[in-house]
Amino acid sequence: MIWTARDVLAKTIGAIFRLSVGAGIALVMFTGCAAQALKNSGGLGTRFVSVDGQPEPVPSEWVATPEGKLAHSIKTPNPLPKNSGYRREMTSEQYFEHLCKTEAGEHIFRAVENVEGLFLVRPLMRPSDDDLKDRYKLEAPEIERTFQLWDPHPEQRAETFVAPPSRLYSFVEEPREASTTAKPYVRSFGYQKGVAPMKSEFASELRSHYGLIWRGVKRFNDRELAIAGSEWIILDLATNEVLALQRNYARTGFSRNTPGGTWWLNAVSCPNVVPMDNLPSRFYTFATKSLKPTSGNAK
């Protein structure tokens, strides 16, 4: 069966209706499995599965949800090579610099004008301090750390994209958590700092035509050297066309007060991926390079 992003998310939230969308990515749940032992304080990553969207098998926890399966099924126009270029004599810093130079960066494949809003296909939750001290637990710590101080609610996540005059999308949609109702989505809109709070409503159908989804990147011997990769992908929800990709790497292991020196909150990221900050607004900046927002803020 051929699944689009809309189909997968409808299943994720338990909706019983079918979404009529164009054919796209064939979602292959688990095409292979390799049992591997991994030194891991959090108990994760002991089983790996092959996925369509990455050259390396990924921890099974990364694809434990329909959203995760969708994220790792996506094939980008510039897929990573099987060989990461790792050499046994490389230090953590050398491997990190190599990955940044050869693999990290932004790629805008197509831009769309007058986009009102977007769909957060895989909403980010707030990591705990213990998560940020664990070398293996977080899938994409360079992305997930950004929300460490944010409340894990749709209204606050939407402020990343809806906050005029600096962030000009009109609304943000995301799956309604654990929903089995006829209104499986949450739409947030209307925020104006100091003037109007963010409003939200449940919706039966998406207004968004484009989605933003994230995933971790697995490269050979990366976490052992305190390196973690991540990708943001902008997706056409009807066709699964990849419109844009941002790939980044982070390196930790030099904190003096945590086990193994791991503290993803102050990890360094690739200097060639801009803007180089740890603010949610950087995700807005990336999105607007492909999805040009309208200037209004109407519902």
Q: Report the predicted TM-score, pTM, of the whole model to 2 decimal places.
A: 0.84
Unique residue bearing structure tokens 């126009």? 77
Task: Return the structure tokens found at 121.
Answer: 């296909």
Confidence (pLDDT) at 181: 79
Tell me if 41 sits within 8 A of 202, measured CB to CB.
Answer: no
Give the integer Cα–Cα distance in Å for 212 and 143.
Answer: 13
Residue 225 contacts by C-beta under 8 Å, 6 or more apart in sequence?
90, 91, 92, 95, 96, 251, 253
Give the integer Cα–Cα distance in Å for 213 and 107.
Answer: 15
Confidence (pLDDT) at 44: 52
- For the chain, the domains span 83-293
Segment-wise mean pLDDT, segments of 10 residues, the chain, 299 residues: 52 36 30 34 68 96 94 96 97 98 97 97 93 96 91 90 94 85 92 91 96 97 97 96 97 92 95 80 94 69
Q: Which runs of E-coded beta strand occur in 205-258?
A: 210-217, 227-236, 242-251
Tell me if 176 sits within 8 A of 186, measured CB to CB.
Answer: yes
Confidence (pLDDT) at 9: 53
Confidence (pLDDT) at 149: 83
